[in-house]
Structure 1
């Protein structure tokens, strides 16, 4: 949870930009303390809503991934983190990124 707390910006949490869930559908309550994001699990569980939101994300044309991945949130999170890491490092030179996207 510490990694996730460092990932989000306090202003976005204060503006209610996100809904937070644990891998099992546990609703996570975000707050800001001393300018830092703090995520606290609640007793509420909404696994169906978590999977519905994940499927909607996976079906989005810019994502275009198999919606069945929503049934395994931990494996999906690992896959998405690896995909993000692979796309951001090593950085391609700007001129090469432009050529690559054509």
Structure 2
């Protein structure tokens, strides 16, 4: 099943204590999926920041991070409040489809 995830924002400069928003759009034919925001630190470590399920009614929040999930528009924005030096990283939006497929075997 084809899926796409697009982030079009260039590198951003943000002052400490400011709030910033990163945008992501996606496309999937699946109706049951999860969206994730990860950050890659300068050392190369990938850290999961926040997860949003397709059927979750409220927007996910985690400490200073929150998302604005627009299912109809197929978009997921990440808001970082009270920016800190440790937030300097490369951010990735990811999509995981959750379709369950059953295999049939012969006894």
Shorter-chain TM-score tier: under 0.3
Q: Normalising by the residue count of structure 1, what TM-score does the alignment of the two structures yield?
A: 0.24
Higher strand residue share = 2
Higher helix residue share = 1
Q: Which structure's relative contact order is higher, taking Cα pairs within 8 Å and 6+ residues apart?
A: 2
